[in-house]
Amino acid sequence: MKLIVVENYEEMSRVAADKIKAVVNENPNAILGLATGSTPVGTYKELIEMNKNNEIDFSQIKTVNLDEYIGLGEKDPQSYRYFMNENLFNHINIKKENTFVPNGLAKDIEEEAKNYDMKIDELGGIDIQILGIGSNGHIAFNEPADALTSGTHLTQLTESTIAANSRFFNSIDEVPKTALTMGVGQIMKSKRILLLANGDSKADAVKEIFSGKITSKNPATMLQMHKDVTVIVDKKVGELIKNN
Ligand code: PGA
C-alpha cells in the first residue's frame, strides 16, 4: 500500500483528480468507481475544471457508485444519485446512461443487488475505485461487523454512521437506516483503489489500515490484501498515523 501525505484537502483533491485523469487518458473507456460524501467533492470539482479545459474526456467513460440509501430516489436531494448528478455528472461530458448508482427504490432489493454486481462484471470490472472512509472504518456502507459481505447487499447503518450523515439532513430522524452497498469483495475486485481521508476523526481508522492486522471491525483493513491501493491523507492524519 502506498501512502501519500498532502498538505491539505485542496492538495488531496488535486492529487486524486490527477490520478483519475491518468487512468482516463490511458483508457478513454475506463470504468470509474465513484463515492459520495464530503471527501470526494473537491476531487469532483477538479475533474469538472479539467473537463472544461479539455484535459479529460468523459464521453466514453462509465461509472459505478458504491452505495445508495434505501427509499430515496433520484429526485430526492439526499439521495446519492442526486448527489452525483449535482456534484459531477451534470457538469461533465458524460452520458447519464453510462452512470450507475444502485436503485434505492427498487421493489426487489435482493434482485437489484444481484443485478448491480452482474452489471459491474459485465462492464469488465472497475479500473479505479475512489473510497472515503468512515471514522468507524467503514468503506462504502460496509459497517464494522462480525462478518463482512462480499457482494452488493442491503445493510443496516450503524448509529455512528447515521449520526455522522445527519449533517446532510434536517434531522437525524430523516436519515435512512438502511442502504444498498457494494460489498467488500466487489470493492476488492477493483484494479486500483484510491482511498482519501482528511480530518482528525478519520486518523484512528486509517492508522489501522497500516497495522498489518485485518479485522471485520474495521472493514478498511481488508484493503491490505489488495495489490494496488493508494491512500491519500492530509498532514494532520499523516502525523497521527506516524506518531502512534
Ligand atoms: P465523508 O464520508 O466523506 O462525508 O466523511 C466518508 C464515508 O463515510 O465513507
Q: Which pLDDT belongs to residue 4?
A: 97
- Annotated catalytic residue within 67, 68, 112, 234: 67
Name, in order, each residue with C-beta under 8 angstroms of 127's C-beta and a sequence gap of 6 or more: 23, 27, 30, 31, 32, 33, 190, 191, 192
Task: Report the C-alpha gap between 158 and 151 in whole angstroms.
Answer: 19
Q: Which pLDDT belongs to residue 170?
A: 94
Question: What confidence tier does 240 reach under pLDDT thresholds 50, 70, 90?
Answer: confident
- Annotated catalytic residue within 138, 142, 208, 218: 138
What cell does 89 get? 455528472
Question: What confidence tier does 166 reach under pLDDT thresholds 50, 70, 90?
Answer: very high
- In the predicted structure, residue 241 carries a pLDDT above the cut 70: yes
CATH fold of 2-190+200-242, please?
Answer: Rossmann fold (3.40.50)
Question: What confidence tier does 242 reach under pLDDT thresholds 50, 70, 90?
Answer: confident
Share of the chain above pLDDT 90, in %: 96
Question: What confidence tier does 203 reach under pLDDT thresholds 50, 70, 90?
Answer: very high
The alpha-carbon radius of gyration of the chain (Å, integer) is: 17
Task: Report the C-alpha gap between 86 and 100 in whole angstroms.
Answer: 15
Please write the tens of the pLDDT for every residue from 38-50: 999 999 999 999 9
Q: How far is the CA of 134 from the centre of ligand 1 (A)?
A: 5
Task: Report the C-alpha gap between 201 and 199 in whole angstroms.
Answer: 6
Active site (annotated) includes residue 138: yes
Active site (annotated) includes residue 228: no
Which atom of ligand 1 sits closest to the CA of residue 139? Answer: 9
What cell does 189 get? 475486485
Q: How far is the CA of 220 from the centre of ligand 1 (A)?
A: 13
Q: What is the pTM of this model?
A: 0.97
Please write the tens of the pLDDT for every residue from 86-141: 999 999 999 999 999 999 999 999 999 999 999 999 999 999 999 999 999 999 99
Please write the tens of the pLDDT for every residue from 207-225: 999 999 999 999 999 999 9
H/E run at residue 235: helix 235-242
**DSSP structure string for 87-103:** HTGGGSS--GGGEE---
Q: How far is the CA of 173 from the centre of ligand 1 (A)?
A: 19
H/E run at residue 80: helix 80-87
Q: Which residues line ligand 1 (CB under 6 A)?
A: 37-39, 132-134, 138
Q: How far is the CA of 76 from the centre of ligand 1 (A)?
A: 19
Best mutation site among 38, 129, 169, 181 for ligand 1 pocket (most ligand atoms within 8 Å of CB):
38
Residue with cell 491501493: 229
Q: Which pLDDT belongs to residue 244?
A: 59
Q: Which pLDDT belongs to residue 28?
A: 98
Average pLDDT, the chain: 96
Helix (H, G, I), strand (E, B) or coil at 27: coil
Task: Report the C-alpha gap between 134 and 154 in whole angstroms.
Answer: 18
